[in-house]
């Protein structure tokens, strides 16, 4: 019942906030969001599950109720948590609370609607990470789109309409491709009579689909694999499907950017892990090299693009493309450290990119510019906020004892020793080169904006950042350091859930 309560509280909270007066909406949403945050931490503390939810693992907080029974097929309300989804749920609830706090300063119109939509996104994100029935999952997956479309479209920057529509069209088309492929797969799996992901996974590992549409079983499975990969790749996003991301990020208001980078991108990699990399071990093996190539290109190309930007927010936005490239590389390595590290990186990147976007937002609120070229010596005026920004940037670069280091170390370690991926040392080496570029553009941006004599080419008087903004950044930084010092806090539960995937092919 706990997961239902978690989702219901957030949903009802969203409705309440939506109709509340603007004046109190921000504080009210914050108060409401503390409930799911506390509940998810309780789930974390009480977590008692082992194995992978899709692979006969022990499921925590499971509930399964038949929902729609039509013809031979059953759709159920089926939710549960395992070591992969739980950290992401906690990430979602914490990041949403902090995103709400970070909206207090910049959002000054239609507040109740804004905070209502944020809570609505939160509820659906929790749904995405807990649902174990394809249809239920798809409902949550698509429901995330609508509020994000509105958040960008209403509260965004000057080119918000373009960015919102591009975001909506790209991700919705990708979802349709994936949906069609997956439904075809279920029909192809003759003896499966439900859309429950564990059952579909089992059926896939025990022989896969019979042929359909004149394709042989293997060819059909490959086609589905590719279509689903494309569908999720847009969400991640990987090069060359990344073009919606900088537009959406740059135009989105700060809190929406925080959620977009922090959690929404993880929906893509989470889905890749749950669907492509868990259900299709044979195809992963067959397509390992192209996937790894895509991952490495995303890392390098994303970093190069970031290097070329002068808009602080754009720099952070493009850096997400490379960070997500690492996740894909870790997944395709198909080792305990690779896949586990990829999951760890999802959480870590959620925290770090959330922090970076908040910091950029704070700087923008104070200076009304995001251009690196317009700023210099901000450290004089807002020392604490800038200090946190610099610390976050170091986390991004992979400074030891911060979560970014642990994540990247796991991924590289896992990828280097991969048996599945041929030439894995080569791919790993190339991807590691990405770190150099990341360090390059971050140091470059820091040096220009933060250090040196104070100079600002706008008319605004820059003062210290508001306490609540700094506080939420400090909380994030604290989490980044905690996970960096003690990755075992979540890495153990992640590996519990990851190990069964790696044996999946032999079962």
Cβ proximity to other proteins, 50 vs 172, nearer residue: 172
Please report how close the Cβ of residue 153 comes to other proteins at its closest, in angstroms: 4
In angstroms, what is the minimal distance from the CB of 138 to other proteins? 6
- Are the CB atoms for 415 and 329 separated by under 8 Å? yes
- Single out the residue of 24, 146, 215, 475 in contact with other proteins (rule: CB under 8 A): 146
Name the minimum Å distance from CB 154 to other proteins. Answer: 6
* Residue with Cβ nearer other proteins (11 or 304): 11
148, 150, 296, 502: which one contacts other proteins (CB under 8 A)?
Answer: 150
Distance CA 93, CA 84 (A): 15
In the window 175-204, what residues touch other proteins (CB under 8 A)?
A: 176, 187
Question: Number of residues in contact with other proteins, rule: CB under 8 A?
Answer: 30
Which residue in the set 12, 24, 139, 420 belongs to the binding site for other proteins (CB under 8 A)? Answer: 139
Element (H, E) at 158: none
Exactly one of 2, 12, 31, 165 binds other proteins (CB under 8 A); that residue is 165
Shortest Å, Cβ 468 to other proteins: 26
Instruction: Select the residue interacting with other proteins from 5, 8, 19, 489 (CB under 8 A).
Output: 19
Q: Say whether residue 12 binds other proteins (CB under 8 A).
A: no
Taking the mean position of all CA atoms in its chain, how far away is CA 478?
19
| Residue closer to other proteins (CB basis): 79 or 479 | 79
Instruction: Identify which of residues 135 and 334 has a Cβ nearer to other proteins in the complex.
Output: 135
Find the shortest distance in angstroms from Cβ 56 to other proteins: 28
Q: What is the dihedral of CA 346, 349, 353, 356, to 10 degrees?
A: 160
Q: Which is nearer to other proteins, 162 or 451 (CB)?
A: 162
CB of 7 to other proteins, least distance (A): 13
Q: DSSP H helical segments within 368-466, as ranges?
A: 383-397, 403-416, 424-449
CB of 187 to other proteins, least distance (A): 8
Q: Any contact of residue 142 with other proteins (CB under 8 A)?
A: yes
Among 356, 362, 385, residue whose Cα is nearest residue 480? 356
CA proximity to 230, closest of 141, 188, 291, 292: 291
465-502 as b/e, with b when 16 or more CB fall inside 10 Å? bbeebbebbbbbbebbbebbeebeebbebbbbbbbbbb
Task: Give the C-alpha separation, 331 to 215, whole Å.
Answer: 28
Segment 93 to 112, residues that bind other proteins, using CB under 8 A: 110, 112
Residue 78 is given by DSSP the state: E
Angstrom CA distances, 24 to 98, 461, 478, stand at 17, 28, 29
Which segment (150-158, 243-251, 358-366, 491-499) binds other proteins by CB under 8 A?
A: 150-158
Task: Report which of 179, 74, 75 is spatially closest to residue 136, judged by C-alpha positions.
Answer: 75
Question: Residue holding tokens 């209502």?
Answer: 116
**C-beta of residue 418 within 8 angstroms of C-beta of residue 502:** no
Q: Which of 13, 153, 209, 395 binds other proteins (CB under 8 A)?
A: 153
Nearest to 163 by CA among 152, 171, 173, 174: 152
Residue whose C-alpha is closest to residue 506's, from 285, 294, 292:
285
21 contributes a contact to other proteins by CB under 8 A: no
Candidates 36, 104, 148, 160: give the one binding other proteins (CB under 8 A): 160
Read off φ and ψ for residue 209, nearest 5 degrees: -75, 155
Q: Which is nearer to other proteins, 116 or 487 (CB)?
A: 116
Interaction between residue 162 and other proteins (CB under 8 A): no
Residues 29-88 that bind other proteins (CB under 8 A): 66-71
Q: Interface residues for other proteins in 271-310 (CB under 8 A)?
A: none
Q: Does residue 138 bind other proteins (CB under 8 A)?
A: yes
Are 195 and 229 contacting, i.e. CB atoms less than 8 angstroms apart? no
- Residue from the set 12, 16, 18, 371 that interacts with other proteins by CB under 8 A: 18
What gap in Å lies between CA 280 and CA 224, rounded to an integer? 10
Question: Per rule CB under 8 A, is residue 357 in the interface with other proteins?
Answer: no
* Residue 378, CA distances (Å) to 150, 363, 384 in order: 33, 9, 10
Residues that bind other proteins (CB under 8 A): 18-19, 66-71, 110, 112-113, 135, 138-139, 141-143, 145-146, 150, 153-154, 160-161, 164-165, 168, 172, 176, 187
């Amino acid at each position: 019942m706990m997961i239902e309560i978690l989702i219901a509280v957030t949903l009802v909270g969203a409705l309440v906030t939506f109709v509340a007066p603007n004046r109190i909406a921000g504080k009210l949403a914050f108060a409401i969001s503390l409930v799911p945050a506390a509940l998810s931490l309780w789930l974390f503390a009480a977590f008692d599950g082992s194995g992978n939810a899709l692979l006969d693992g022990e499921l925590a907080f499971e509930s399964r109720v038949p929902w729609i029974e039509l013809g031979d097929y059953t759709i159920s309300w089926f939710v549960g948590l395992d070591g992969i989804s739980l950290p992401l749920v906690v990430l979602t609830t914490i990041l949403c609370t902090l995103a709400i706090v970070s909206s207090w300063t910049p959002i000054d119109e239609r507040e109740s609607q804004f905070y209502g939509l944020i809570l609505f996104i939160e509820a659906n994100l929790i749904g995405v990470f807990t649902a174990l029935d394809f249809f239920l999952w798809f409902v949550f997956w698509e429901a995330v789109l609508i509020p994000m479309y509105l958040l960008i479209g209403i509260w965004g920057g000057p080119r918000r309409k373009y960015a919102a529509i591009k975001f909506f069209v790209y991700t919705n088309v990708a979802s349709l491709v994936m949906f069609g492929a997956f439904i075809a797969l279920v029909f192809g799996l003759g003896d499966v009579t439900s859309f429950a992901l564990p059952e579909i996974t089992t059926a896939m590992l025990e022989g896969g689909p019979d042929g359909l549409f004149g394709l042989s079983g293997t060819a059909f499975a490959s086609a589905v694999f590719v279509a689903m990969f494309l569908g999720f790749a847009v969400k991640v996003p990987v090069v060359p499907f990344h073009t919606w991301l900088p537009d959406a990020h740059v135009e989105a208001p700060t809190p929406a950017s925080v959620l977009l980078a922090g959690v929404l991108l993880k929906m893509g990699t989470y889905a890749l892990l749950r669907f492509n990399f868990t259900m299709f071990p044979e195809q992963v093996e067959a397509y390992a090299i192209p996937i790894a190539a895509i991952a490495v290109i995303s890392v390098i190309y994303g970093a190069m693009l970031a290097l070329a930007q002068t808009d602080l927010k754009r720099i952070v936005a493009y850096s997400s493309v490379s960070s997500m490239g690492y996740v894909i590389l870790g997944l395709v390595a198909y080792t305990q450290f690779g896949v586990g590290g990829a999951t760890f990186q999802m959480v870590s990147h959620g925290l770090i990119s959330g922090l970076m976007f908040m910091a950029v937002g704070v700087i923008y609120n104070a200076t009304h510019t995001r251009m690196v070229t317009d700023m210099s010596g901000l450290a004089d005026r807002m020392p604490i906020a800038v200090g946190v920004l610099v610390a976050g940037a170091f986390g991004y670069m992979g400074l030891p004892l911060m979560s970014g280091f642990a994540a990247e170390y796991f991924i590289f370690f896992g990828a280097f020793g991969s048996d599945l991926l041929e030439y894995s040392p080569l791919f790993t080496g190339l991807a590691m080169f990405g770190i150099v570029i990341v360090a390059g553009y971050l140091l470059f941006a820091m040096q220009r904006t933060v250090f040196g004599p104070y100079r600002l080419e706008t008319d605004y008087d820059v003062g210290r950042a508001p306490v609540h903004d700094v506080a939420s950044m400090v909380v994030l930084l604290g989490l980044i350091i905690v996970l960096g010092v003690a990755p075992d806090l979540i890495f153990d539960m992640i590996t519990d859930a990851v190990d069964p995937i790696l044996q999946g092919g032999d079962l």
